[in-house]
């Protein structure tokens, strides 16, 4: 069988860019052998040393410092855009206009207006325009979603989600793009976007938000002397700059199916480096997941005898989504890591490009706009002192 070949580039070689690069490298090793070959063409970063490092580590042919080189490159078909949110629009629009397939990191843009313009550009293009909501590729989260959608919990009543992270709790964590922009562009955009996408993935559309509160706990941060990546510390200049967005957001919601949602998202949650978790309660059962114990989830239902009934822990394995041939040793209970989710995402994107549909498609730009409409409603609710805001 001749495999189709897709030339790929990754723009941004920071914390998440490396995960995209590694994802493309492994995408052909999982699932059916009919997937396309990812030709690893270029890694781009304005920080040339970082681009070179990623090029060498993940086996790409070129390292470049200007994303415009990718727009013009004949040997690149598909591009991951993994830079700060405010840079997404210009790069994505240029890539789409040049006929490239794009996988843009979340959130699509810092504002709903920019995101809508990007969705319109995607509509005008004939190529794939996908968004990196990586947790949709989680075997455990996807198993819970299937459980809910197959009716095993009965009627969904309550979804409780928290995205609790500690990366900004240290006041010496330096200023970066994550702390710039107005209300809603902080913890809400960074980790709340994942939380809302997860909630809608599991429980369906959110139609109303209320009771929102946005809080900034640390209102200025030291300016770094050099480059900072992800949430890394580093040398400081001695200057400080104001933080422009929230460290913490809480809100309630209603889903289209009638369920109530309760949410809190934070980047100042002590001791929790990666604490995205949720519970979903239905009329006939419940399910729960915690990213810090990614290889398992919890369920309740009425099937066990009363005297031994209670919450059960299920270890994920080949019986669950993605794991059969999704890890090199697909035995029960071996688990998986965040890196694997980027492999499944890369594979789904490449498959979409060549017209294969074995995996669920990546979220579209319109899906991402929907999520941003929910986040926008949270900001509007907070501005109005917690008023209820409907989502069209």
* Residue of this chain nearest to ligand NAD (CB atom): 14
Straight-line distance from the first to the last Cα atom of the chain, in angstroms, rounded to the nearest whole number: 47
Instruction: Quickly count: other Cβ atoms within 10 Å of residue 210's Cβ.
Output: 17
Q: Does 87 bind ligand NAD (CB under 6 A)?
A: yes
Q: Does 46 bind ligand NAD (CB under 6 A)?
A: yes
Q: Per-residue x/- marks for ligand NAD, 215-244, CB under 6 A?
A: --------------xx--------------
Q: How far apart are CA 123 and CA 38, in angstroms?
A: 25
**DSSP bridge partners of 208:** 254, 390
Tell me how far, at minimum, the Cβ of 83 lies from ligand NAD, in Å. 4
Tell me how far, at minimum, the Cβ of 54 lies from ligand NAD, in Å. 9
Q: Does 47 bind ligand NAD (CB under 6 A)?
A: yes
Instruction: Answer left, alpha or beta for residue 329, where phi above 0 means left and psi between -120 and 50 means alpha.
Output: beta
Q: Which stretch binds ligand NAD (CB under 6 A): 78-86, 215-223, 242-250, 311-319?
A: 78-86
Name the token pair of 339: 């890196």
Of 35 and 363, CB closest to ligand NAD: 363
Candidates 6, 8, 16, 92: give the one binding ligand NAD (CB under 6 A).
Answer: 16
Q: How far apart are CA 375 and CA 109, in angstroms?
A: 12
Q: How far apart are CA 132 and CA 194, in angstroms?
A: 10
Candidates 42, 85, 111, 216: give the one binding ligand NAD (CB under 6 A).
Answer: 85
Q: How far apart are CA 279 and CA 294, in angstroms?
A: 14
Name the token pair of 379: 């900001």
Of 285 and 371, CB closest to ligand NAD: 371
Residues in the chain, overall count: 392
Of 189 and 259, CB closest to ligand NAD: 189
**Tokens 């980027």 found at:** 342
Of 128 and 191, CB closest to ligand NAD: 191
Q: Does 44 bind ligand NAD (CB under 6 A)?
A: yes
Phi then psi for residue 125, to 5 deg, are -90, 160
Q: Does 83 bind ligand NAD (CB under 6 A)?
A: yes
Which spans of this chain sit near ligand NAD (rule: CB under 6 A)?
A: 11-17, 44-47, 50, 67, 82-85, 87, 105-106, 132, 134, 190, 229-230
């Amino acid at each position: 069988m001749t495999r189709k070949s897709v030339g790929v580039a990754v723009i941004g070689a920071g914390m998440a860019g490396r995960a995209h690069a590694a994802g493309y490298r492994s995408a052909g090793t999982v699932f059916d052998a009919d997937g396309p070959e990812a030709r690893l063409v270029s890694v781009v970063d304005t920080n040339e040393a970082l681009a070179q490092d990623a090029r060498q580590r993940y086996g790409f042919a070129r390292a470049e410092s200007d994303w415009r080189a990718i727009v013009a490159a004949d040997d690149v078909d598909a591009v991951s855009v993994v830079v700060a949110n405010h840079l997404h629009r210009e790069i994505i629009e240029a890539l789409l206009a040049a006929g490239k397939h794009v996988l843009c990191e979340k959130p699509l843009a810092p504002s709903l207006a920019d995101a809508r313009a990007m969705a319109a550009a995607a509509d005008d293009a004939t190529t794939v325009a996908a968004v990196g909501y990586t947790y949709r590729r989680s075997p455990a989260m996807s198993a819970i979603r299937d459980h809910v959608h197959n009716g095993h919990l009965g009627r969904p009543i309550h979804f409780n989600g928290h995205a609790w992270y500690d990366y900004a709790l240290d006041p010496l964590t330096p200023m970066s793009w994550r702390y710039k922009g107005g209300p809603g562009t902080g913890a809400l955009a960074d980790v709340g976007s994942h939380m809302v996408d997860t909630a809608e993935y599991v429980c369906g559309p959110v139609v109303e938000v209320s009771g929102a509160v946005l809080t900034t706990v640390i209102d200025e941060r030291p300016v770094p002397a050099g480059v900072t990546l992800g949430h890394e510390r580093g040398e400081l200049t001695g200057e400080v700059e104001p933080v422009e967005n929230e460290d913490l957001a809480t809100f309630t919601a209603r889903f289209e199916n009638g369920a109530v949602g309760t949410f809190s998202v934070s980047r100042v949650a002590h001791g929790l480096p990666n604490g995205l978790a949720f519970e979903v309660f239905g009329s006939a059962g419940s399910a729960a997941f915690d990213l810090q114990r990614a290889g398992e989830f919890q369920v309740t239902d009425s099937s066990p005898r009363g005297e031994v009934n209670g919450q059960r822990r299920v270890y994920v394995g080949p019986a669950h989504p993605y794991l059969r041939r999704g890890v090199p040793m697909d035995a029960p209970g071996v688990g998986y890591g965040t890196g694997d989710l980027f492999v499944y995402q890369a594979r789904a994107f490449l498959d979409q490009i060549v017209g294969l549909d074995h995996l669920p498609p990546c979220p579209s730009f319109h899906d991402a706009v929907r999520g941003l409409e929910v986040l926008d409603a949270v900001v509007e609710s907070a501005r109005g002192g917690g008023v209820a805001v409907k989502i069209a």
